[in-house]
Structure 1
Amino acid sequence: MYRFFIEESQVDGNLIRIAGEDVNHIKNVLRMKKGEHVLLSNRRGLEYECELEDLEGNRGISARILDIHGVESELCERIILFQGLPKGDKMELVIQKAVELGASEIVPVKMKRCVVKLDDKKAKKKLERWNAIALGAAKQSKRGVIPEVSRVLTFEEAVKRAEGLSVLLVPYEAAEGMEYSRKLIRKTKGKDSIGIFIGPEGGFEPSEIERLKEAGGRVLSLGRRILRTETAGMAMLSVLMFELEE
């Protein structure tokens, strides 16, 4: 069954009015017909199972609500990925895979060893592109919510944001001891919010690691191999997903 995202304002009694680009996708790309079923998510964890009714009206497509579900595809824990800005188009890959693996939000972070320099105009265009990628990945992976990609934060802004989370995990190549890492991962189950801090291509500066420790960050190892910045977040999210999935 195909899934689309809606705003709660589109719900009117037992009908939902589908509008925008989804109308063309349903009618001309998928060539769906009256009577077929779709899932419409309100982006906040509520999902409507609907039957398409009117596909010819000028105001979009009307769908009749058959049932309402909580979104079973979402983790109970909220995971925020703080990603050091990588070079080139790597951020697009990071966002796509982070959404597929269950991240609730992706926060791009300017760190000392970041090579990328974005002015306000470039940052705005990038942010629009990044959120479009998050939307596409959410649809493809049948997420019940659309994870947000936030504006680019400075390192200190990101640390202050992370201080309010239940757990803050910091994979670091200089950390040792996989048993400690396993214990940390097991302790994340049932926590309200989990932050993951990933360094850029050049890694963290030692001073950044110390600042993250001051903020409550737990430094852990992902193994003996040095992972690329675009791989480290995926590895961390994969391990967490395996541990947290009901």
Structure 2
Amino acid sequence: MSKSEVNGYVKEEYNYNGELDVDITLYQSLVEPSRMEMIIQKCTELGVKSIVPVISEKCKYKMISENKFKRWKNIVTESSEQSFRSVLMDIKEIMNFKDACLKSEGLRIFCNEFEMKNNINLISNFDLHNNVRRNISIFVGPVSGYSEDEISFAKKCDLKSVSLGKRILRTETAAIVSVANVISKLT
């Protein structure tokens, strides 16, 4: 060992892949910064592959500053290290709601507080395991929920409308619960 050089040898190799077998993309309507940071942190820990910030009709926030985007990237890095992720979660460009519905892929889950028939637990193992592309898209709305027009558009685009239970959840709770519920069915 010297000031400019350190020598060593590999005693043992350890292969660890902290990633899920499917790619989960969370389409999260923009919410206040502290809530968005919590969503990013927890979804990184859970193994979400990417988050797409979405502008929906009832969003109070319509843009992300460059500094905020950098902060989110730092949260992803820190959360990835803490949870032993092998790959950093990607934060995509902002997208409007209709484009998000049209561009989402795979099994597309639309969290809808007005859904009365389909609970998220009814998403069958068949749906999850026979998802050919191994992509799951989860949509979570803003604090005040989706508009009637957005709910109608999501249904026209064949997104699977689901309830997260009998209670109305905060948006950050809904994001975490929906992702965790899907992951629990896959493991």
Q: Same fold (TM over 0.5)?
A: yes
How far off is 1:222 after superposition? Answer: 0.9
Distance 2:3 2:54 in 1: 46
Write the deviation string for residues 209-235 of structure 1: whole angstroms up to 9, x where unpaired: 122222220001111000011110101
Bigger radius of gyration:
1
What's 1:175 paired with?
Answer: 115
Over 3 Å counting, the alpha-carbon distance change for 1:64 and 1:176 in structure 2 is farther
Whether the 8 Å contact between 2:30 and 2:62 is mirrored in structure 1 is no
Letter aligned with residue 57 of structure 1 = S
2:57 alignment partner in structure 1: 112
3-state DSSP class of the match of 1:96?
Answer: helix
1:57 maps onto 2:4 in alignment: yes
Structure 1 residues 89, 189: CA separation in 2 closer, same or farther (over 3 Å shift)? same
Answer 1 or 2: which has greater strand percent. 1
Deviating more after overlay: 151-160 vs 101-110:
151-160
**Change in 2 beyond 3 A, CA 1:55/1:84:** farther
Aligned to 1:136: 78
Is 1:228 the equivalent of 2:170? Answer: yes
Distance apart, 1:70 and its partner CA: 5.6
CA-CA distance at 1:62 after TM superposition: 7.4
Cα displacement string for residues 23-80 of structure 1 (whole angstroms, at most 9, x for unaligned residues): xxxxxxxxxxxxxxxxxxxxxxxxxxxxxxx79537xx77755536361x21111000
* TM-score, scaled to structure 1: 0.68
Which deviates the most, 78-87 or 214-223?
214-223
Match of 1:69 in 2: 15
Asked if the contact 1:108–1:151 (Cα under 8 Å) also holds between the matched residues in 2, the reply is yes
SS at match of 1:196: strand
Letter in 1 for 2:146: F
Greater relative contact order (Cα < 8 A, sep 6+): 2
Return closer, same or farther for 1:62/1:201 CA change in 2, 3 Å cut-off. farther
Q: Runs ≥4 in structure 1, deviation > 6 angstroms?
A: none
What TM-score results when the alignment is normalised by the length of structure 2? 0.88
Structure 1 unpaired stretches of 5+: 1-53
Q: In 1, Cα distance between the equivalents of 2:83 and 2:130?
A: 23
Which residue matches 2:29?
A: 84
> Aligned-residue CA RMSD in angstroms?
2.2
